[in-house]
Chain A
Amino acid sequence: GAVVSQHPSWVICKSGTSVKIECRSLDFQATTMFWYRQFPKQSLMLMATSNEGSKATYEQGVEKDKFLINHASLTLSTLTVTSAHPEDSSFYICSGGSKGAGHEQYFGPGTRLTVT
């Protein structure tokens, strides 16, 4: 089945620094990748959608200058949290969708970010 990996699985960074999270589709071409944020005991909130080779489309209320998303290839997307602050601490999950698969998405295991 379709497998998506994320790296790192958890990261701790100091306030004011930037951190990059990688999302890779291991056995399929992810023409579209989605980035979600999940607060404890809450649902997933879509942050942005990215298509390979195009700029990401951000959801309303998501700061695109703070959450930089790059989707340079069909198997890799990255999310960079710039100038991180404690309120950015969260669980970040990516998913990939392939052409012709419609709404079906394959989810990564998530990355726990803690900003101190």
Chain B
Amino acid sequence: AQSVTQPDIHITVSEGASLELRCNYSYGATPYLFWYVQSPGQGLQLLLKYFSGDTLVQGIKGFEAEFKRSQSSFNLRKPSVHWSDAAEYFCAVGGGYNKLIFGAGTRLAVHP
């Protein structure tokens, strides 16, 4: 069965520092992978997605993610975090019937 693991429940970084949020997936075939961001009390906004091709994908707001098949990972990165990046981040993998399977989420706090 498909699953997504986000090992870090809560991460705190200083503004201007680099960021990496981890995501591991379990899926038998080539996965469709997504990263979403959710601000408090809001819906989800798509940051980036991977379907095929270049394993380093660029997204909005300066985020990027790298698909590593050998590690079953799709980690999200940003070179310099802004205070406005504080939010909840969800990694997801596409499952059967076009469903999305979400990880538990990582809550990002940014110190000034």
- Interface size class of chain B, counting residues whose CB lies under 8 Å from the partner chain: 20 to 34
Instruction: Assess whether B98 is interfacial by the CB under 8 Å rule.
Output: yes
Q: Are B98 and A93 in contact (CB under 8 A)?
A: no
Contact check: which of A4, A46, A91, A109 meets B99 at CB < 8 Å? A46
Contacts of A105 in B (CB 8 A): 98, 100
Interface residues in A2-17 (C-beta closer than 8 Å to B): 4, 6
Binding site for A on B (CB under 8 A): 32, 34, 36, 41-46, 49, 51, 90, 94-95, 97-100, 102-105, 107
| Of the residues A49, A103, A110, contact of B41 by C-beta under 8 Å | A110
0/1 interface trace, chain A 91-116, chain B, CB 8 Å (1 if under): 10101010000111111111010000
Q: Is the CB of B45 within 8 A of A107?
A: yes
B104 to chain A, nearest CB (A): 5
Shortest Cβ distance from B4 into A: residue: A43
Min distance, Cβ A43 to any Cβ of chain B, angstroms: 5
Q: Is there an interface contact between B41 and A112, defined as CB atoms closer than 8 Å?
A: yes
- Set of chain B residues within 8 Å of A60, measured between Cβ atoms: none
Minimum CB–CB distance from B30 to chain A (whole Å) comes to 12
Query: Does A103 lie within 8 Å of B98, measured CB to CB?
Result: yes
CB-CB under 8 A from A44, the residues of chain B are: 44, 90, 102
